[in-house]
Structure 1
Amino acid sequence: MMTQKQKTTMIYSLPALILVFAVLGNLFSKEFNWSPSDFLIGGILLFGTAIIIDLIRRIVKNQTYKIFLCIVVLFILIFTWVELAVGLFGTPFAGS
């Protein structure tokens, strides 16, 4: 069983790990071309999601609601990321 501190560390280290892979991809691959603003937006999205999930985990007592809310937050992150990456839905904030 993981302690509360270990769970919190895991929640915040996953976005950092994803950004490290993005930096490595940007350094070693020509197909991967992120600007500093892309890293800033990615960091805000990933760490903002981690903060929201951590708050849900601490505040919501019902396990079913907790899982449901975390899944909803992750879907919002995925749809936002896809929209910013390729403009799937054609919203103005994706640059379409």
Structure 2
Amino acid sequence: MTQNKRLKSILLFATLILLIPLIAMQFSTEVNWSVFDFIIAGVLLFGTGFLLELVIRKVKTRQNRIVFFLIIIALLVLTWIELAVGLFGTPLAGS
């Protein structure tokens, strides 16, 4: 896949993920995201996508790419969980 197609895919995928809570907010009062929530989620998703693209461009060996991918995805998931429910009780979660 060319670099431009990958970047377009990253933008599309992150946008589609952000549309899920936006659509859910139209049908349920259980989902209540503010503009700030969307901004933070966007920064996390787009930042992760661009970091993965950077790894694809700069890291040559497949094994090292996989290691970096797993680290980046793990950091995204842990940060998202912390912001959502305060798993670790850091000030990020409002604890």
User: TM-score normalized by structure 2?
Assistant: 0.91
Identity of aligned residues (%): 43
Does 1:85 find its partner at 2:84? yes
> Partners of 2:21 and 2:66 in 1: how far apart?
28
Runs of 4+ off more than 2 Å = 5-12
Q: 2:30: which partner in 1?
A: 31
Gaps of 5+ in 2: none
Q: 1:57: which partner in 2?
A: 56
Deviations 1:10-67 (A, max 9, x none): 2232111100112101222110000110001000111011110110111111111111
Give the aligned length. Answer: 94
Does 1:75 find its partner at 2:74? yes
State the AA in 1 paired with 2:17: I
Gaps of 5+ in 1: none
> Partners of 1:61 and 1:38 in 2: how far apart?
35
Q: 1:18: which partner in 2?
A: 17
With 65-74 and 8-17 compared, the bigger mean Cα shift is at 8-17
| 1:81 to partner: Cα distance | 0.3
With 9-18 and 51-60 compared, the bigger mean Cα shift is at 9-18
| 1:9 to partner: Cα distance | 2.5
| 1:68 to partner: Cα distance | 1.2
State the AA in 2 paired with 1:14: F
